[in-house]
Amino acid sequence: LIVLGGLSFVLNQLIKRSLNSMGGKGDPADYLLLVTLVALVLLGIIFSALFFFMDSSTWTSSLFFYMMTAVLGLGIFVPWLQHLIKRHPLFWLVEFLVHSHTRLYLLSYWVFLVLSACAVVLYQNSKRTPDSKKLQVSTVTRKYFHFLAVATYIPGLIFDMQLLFVASVACFAIFVLLEYVRYFRIRPLGQTLRNLLTLFLDERDSGPLILTHIYLLLGMSLPVWLFPRLCASSLSSPSTLLPYCGVL
């Protein structure tokens, strides 16, 4: 209920912001977030209903998952975003990413952090043995991922908050889609993700879903998502804590 309530609040704020921008030229990043959230919710509802009657772990179901995601994405959500921003989303995204050298440097830095996180996951799993199936990583290892999250957000807030906005939306979409793949055991990655992430589960992930990393991302991103202009102005005003609320 808390998640649904929070999601409803975010969607409500985004829809209001989009309606207020209809008369003028709205920020494409706002529309990107709105379309992404709606797309993820609809995909989750569709696949939950579909796989209630089907075995989601078969190759047939997996192919259907990928085809349905591609059809809905390219046939509905991308055209919807194109209609809102009045440009093809791919062209806008490429131009946005190469807008300045700072963005390229930040992207390279973030790619390095992502590779570091993946290396930690693979290394921790490489230490597993058949006798240590219930082994869990230490709290220090979990805090390492929190450190990576902070190391990701602070440079983005300081140097290019708009890029951080778009990158966090993309990261959120990837996290949710990968969770769909893991939860529904979509081949070929579903079972692999289950095995890799087992070490990092704790009492907060005792249910069928693994949401800790998504909660962390949402907690750090919501101030920027909901109040992007206020956060941008706060960076140059005495009240500079608002953009860092999620990090703090």
Residue type, 230: L
Q: Find out whether 81 and 88 touch, Cβ atoms under 8 Å.
A: no
The ranges assigned to domains in the chain are 2-244
At CA 202, angle to CA 207 and CA 244, rounded to 5? 100
pLDDT of the chain along its 248 residues, tens only?
455 555 566 666 565 555 555 544 567 888 898 899 889 988 998 998 888 888 888 889 999 999 999 999 999 999 989 988 888 999 999 999 998 899 999 999 999 999 999 998 888 888 776 665 556 777 777 788 889 999 999 999 888 889 999 999 999 999 999 999 999 999 989 888 888 887 777 666 666 788 888 888 988 888 888 876 666 655 555 456 666 676 76
- Sign of the torsion formed by the C-alpha atoms of 102, 104, 105 and 107: positive
Exposed / middle / buried, residue 165 (Cβ in 10 Å: 0-12, 13-18, 19+): buried
Q: How many CA atoms lie within 13 A of 52 on its CB side?
A: 7
Q: What is the pTM of this model?
A: 0.85
